[in-house]
Amino acid sequence: MDSNIKKRIFQSATWSLGSRVLGQGITFITTILLAKLLGISDFGAISFGVLTVGLVDSIVDFGFLSALVREKSLTEEQLSSCFWFLTMISGGGILLIKLYSLYLVVDDSYSSVIDVLVYGLIFVPYQSVSRALISRDLRLDSIAKYEIIGGIIRNGSALLGAYYGYGIKGFVYGFLCERFFISICLFVSAQWFPSLIFKLSALKSFVQFGIASTSSRIIWYLSTKIDSFFIGLYFGKEALGIYSLAMQIAYMPFQLVTTGGHRVIYATFSKFVGQDNFISVVNKTAWLVLTLSAPACIGIFVLSDEIISIFFGDKWKQASQAIKWLSIASLVQIYSSIWPQFWNAVGKPSYGVIVNIINLIILTLILFFIGNNGDFKDIPVGIAVISVIRLLVVYMLSKKLIDICLLRMFYENLFPIIGCLLIIVWSNIFIPYFDIKNNILKIIFIISGSALAYIAFLFSTSIISFLPVKKLLSK
């Protein structure tokens, strides 16, 4: 591989992951403060608004961002035609959400959030094209820097609004300010502005990919968010507030990987398609992602009670058990999310449609069963079960494209999982012997001891020649 490409991949990966770590840290602190300033139902209203706009957001992009990154060469005619096409879809999306909010949403607090957030769709067309141009050059570190500042603007606005008694208005207007700021930065970085050119023929190579990719993303969005939609509509905004907080905490590692890592992973896979070492790159990437994310997910699992007690207080106590189940689901979904990037890179985004349709059907059935026979607290258990089923479907589809063995995959990835079991043993068997009363001190002991045990175990397995870890890292 060219040394310049290696350098850009490393910089992109470092900044993308670093920006997500910093962003998640800022968001976590903001969530803690908002949890004290706002009520549980306010969290539910914000979550429902973000969910609704996010669904349309995934449609407005129309998969063109991925399609533009994947295209070997681009012309000004193609770029401008894509922009104006997305602008028309964005306008239609805003109109549809306005009608939805006016006639279908029964809770006024939901409508008040949706009516403002919807205008964030205005920025999608330009961001999609400019992000693609920057991503093609593997300059994702630039995007990461803009997103750090944008996140600070959004979270700062949310806190100021809540502190001065404006409730959730600070969050919704901060969301728009963030999108505006990032769009300006992307304009400066990409140095591109659309021309007054629009030809349907120029879109031909993108539309087919976009239809398949967008269909996959819509179904994926519903299959991963329908639980929150269901809780908000069926159990109310207070239940959604508790669930959304639990989801936000448990899925922090998942968000880091999907928003910070996937863009680099997809761009990297696209560069290696057709090369002899492509399969090796895919396998090694999956292993590295699991190795880095597994201790974070298991750490959240074992520390859920302490996290709620220290940072959020007794009114959020119901979220603790949900965090445990959702953190397990997060870990499984992180690993299974790598393979769709491989499918997109080789031009098979339709595989995502298959796996998400299966996921959506099964999850819908489980949700309606819980709605009629249980409580929203049972939904996290269903999410954990669904994540395992999803992983098996992902494996079967991936096997059609490359030669992979389930037993060998399990064997190669067994060692990070064993390392995580050491974390559970340390926190549940050894820590109780110290009889630590202070929760903060307890968290410090658990994290430090777990980190040492995990790192020591992985290091010892990486230097033993007959174990797969050393062979995998040497590829």
Please calculate the CA angle 183-147-163 and round it to the nearest 5 degrees. Answer: 100
Q: What is the pLDDT of residues 357-371, one digit of tens each?
A: 888 898 889 888 888
From 291, 339, 282, select the one nearest 462 (Cα to Cα): 291
Q: Is the pLDDT of residue 443 over 90?
A: no
Question: What is the pLDDT at residue 242?
Answer: 92
Q: What is the pLDDT of residues 58-92, one digit of tens each?
A: 777 777 787 888 777 888 888 889 899 889 988 88
Pick 342 or 460 by higher pLDDT: 342
Distance, first Cα to last Cα, the chain: 13
Q: Is the pLDDT of residue 117 over 90?
A: no
Convert 386-433 into a string of H (helix), E (strand) and C (coil).
Answer: HHHHHHHHHHHHHCCCCCCCHHHHHHHHHHHHHHHHHHHHHHHHHHHH
Tokens 């139902």 belong to residue: 41
Question: What is the pLDDT at residue 84?
Answer: 92
Question: What is the pLDDT at residue 41?
Answer: 85
Task: Categorize the per-residue pLDDT at 8 as very low, low, confident or very high, splitting at 50, 70 and 90.
Answer: low
Question: What is the pLDDT at residue 468?
Answer: 59
Q: What distance in Å separates the CA atoms of residue 245 and residue 217, rounded to the nearest whole number?
A: 24
6-15, 115-124, 152-161 — which is least confidently predicted?
A: 6-15
Q: What is the mean pLDDT of the chain?
A: 81
Task: Categorize the per-residue pLDDT at 324 as very low, low, confident or very high, splitting at 50, 70 and 90.
Answer: very high
Q: What distance in Å separates the CA atoms of residue 252 and residue 237, rounded to the nearest whole number?
A: 22
Contact 114, 97 (CB under 8 A): yes
Q: What is the pLDDT of residues 178-231, one digit of tens each?
A: 889 998 998 888 888 888 888 888 887 788 777 777 777 777 788 878 888 888
Amino acid at 337: S
Where in the chain are the domains? 3-404
Average pLDDT over residues 27-35: 83
Average pLDDT over residues 312-337: 90
Question: What is the pLDDT at residue 455?
Answer: 80
Percent of the chain, pLDDT > 70? 89
Pick 13 or 144 by higher pLDDT: 144
Task: Categorize the per-residue pLDDT at 243 as very low, low, confident or very high, splitting at 50, 70 and 90.
Answer: very high
